[in-house]
Amino acid sequence: MTEPRRISLDAMGGDEGPAVVVPGAALALERHPELEFLLVGDQARIEPHLEAHAGLTARSRIVHTNIAIEMQDKPSQAVRRGRGSSMWLALDAVRNGEAEVAVSAGNTGALMAMAKLVLRTMPGIERPAIAGQWPTVGHNSIVLDLGANIGADARQLADYAVMGAAMARALFGIERPRVGLLNIGVEEIKGIEEVRQAHAWLKENDLPIDYRGFVEGDQIGQGVVDVVVVEGYAGNIALKTAEGTARQMASYVRDALTSSMAAKLGAVLAAGGLRKLKERMDPRRLNGGPFLGLNGIVIKSHGGTDAFGFASAIGVGYDMAEADLLTRLAADLAALHGKLSENKPPDAKQA
């Protein structure tokens, strides 16, 4: 019997709460039978959903609370009033060692604020980043920061490189992930000062990554690197723009395949291929964005996902725990910070 691996779930988070979280956990348990769950939330609302899942019931414990963070709560309100909420207790279970991972589909800002308060950031990390998987023509890539922080200095970008590499190692099993810095291709300007400074650091220092230099927005989907590093404002805009473009293309394809009787018949014949296309474009497969830089593994699920998508988010947390991500990441960050403090940037030397 393998050792159990325990994950705490904010059962009240997301648009549907336990109606998605409980069947999502059941699906994840089918994939990873060594999982156990803390289901944190309103017992009376969780239990009915457990009835259909005897296997999950046997490997779960309900942690009851009446308090839930609402999707529209502001982070500051959530932190003030949210002690004892399902989100808080799910995080607290990671802090006190009862669980290795917390997963929530609740309000992103509230989850980030609480996670920082409950778990604290790793040494030398001021603000965690949100990472996500990005589908490419090859295997997936990791992109961070997707919007936890607006702006990033060179040091934060270097942190993101090491944190993203740790995630790629955990999820894809690549020992020295290829890392690129997202930039724009204007000659002589070549991006913002912070990005250029981070580029110099990542190039000069011997880090556990295969640093590939600058990448542009159209290269993310080509999978030219395993990890794409960008400050959160541009990263969030890139993510949302890609999501919007993918939906737009999907609607064009639907229009094309319903534009005539012949096209409709063609779509029937091509149904097998089109089903594969739909699977490939299914955002639920890639649901689950870890907060990186905390003393604990926290995964943010999309608020509007279904059980299949929630199970993917649990899967991300599982892979990160399985790879013992935090131990390795703490060592890598300490090594990076050691190198950066020996190896001051040119402007700091002049100062």
Do 126 and 152 form a contact (C-beta atoms < 8 A)?
no
Do 160 and 237 form a contact (C-beta atoms < 8 A)?
no
Q: Does 150 bind a second copy (CB under 8 A)?
A: yes
Q: Which is nearer to a second copy, 276 or 344 (CB)?
A: 276
Measure the N-to-C terminal CA separation of the chain; round to a whole number of Å. Answer: 59
Q: Does 276 bind a second copy (CB under 8 A)?
A: yes
**What does the per-residue mask of binding to a second copy show for 184-203, with x meaning CB under 8 A?**
xxxxxx-xx-----------
Q: Please state the closest distance from residue 111 (CB atom) to a second copy, in A.
A: 12
The C-alpha torsion from 263 through 268 and 271 to 277, rounded to 10°, is: 20
Rounded Cα distance between 59 and 62, Å, is 10
The residue count for binding a second copy (CB under 8 A) is 72
Please name which of 72, 151, 147, 65 lies closest in space to residue 110, comparing C-alpha atoms. Answer: 72
Tokens 């990671």 correspond to: 94
Q: Which of residues 44-83 bind a second copy (CB under 8 A)?
A: 74-76
Q: Does 251 bind a second copy (CB under 8 A)?
A: yes
3-state SS of 196-257 is HHHHHHHHHCCCCCEEEEEECHHHHCCCCCCEEECCHHHHHHHHHHHHHHHHHHHHHHHHHC
Among 19, 117, 242, 330, binds a second copy (CB under 8 A): 242
Q: Does 265 bind a second copy (CB under 8 A)?
A: yes
Site stretch for a second copy (CB under 8 A), options 118-126, 163-171, 261-269, 341-349: 261-269
Q: Please state the closest distance from residue 193 (CB atom) to a second copy, in A.
A: 9
Q: Does 147 bind a second copy (CB under 8 A)?
A: yes
Q: Does 172 bind a second copy (CB under 8 A)?
A: no
Q: Does 114 bind a second copy (CB under 8 A)?
A: no
Q: Does 330 bind a second copy (CB under 8 A)?
A: no
Rounded Cα distance between 223 and 136, Å, is 5
Q: Please state the closest distance from residue 276 (CB atom) to a second copy, in A.
A: 6
Among 30, 175, 213, 277, binds a second copy (CB under 8 A): 277
Rounded Cα distance between 235 and 243, Å, is 12
Q: Which of residues 221-240 bind a second copy (CB under 8 A)?
A: 221-222, 230, 232-234, 236-240
Written as six digits, the tokens of 28 are 């994840």
Q: Does 257 bind a second copy (CB under 8 A)?
A: yes
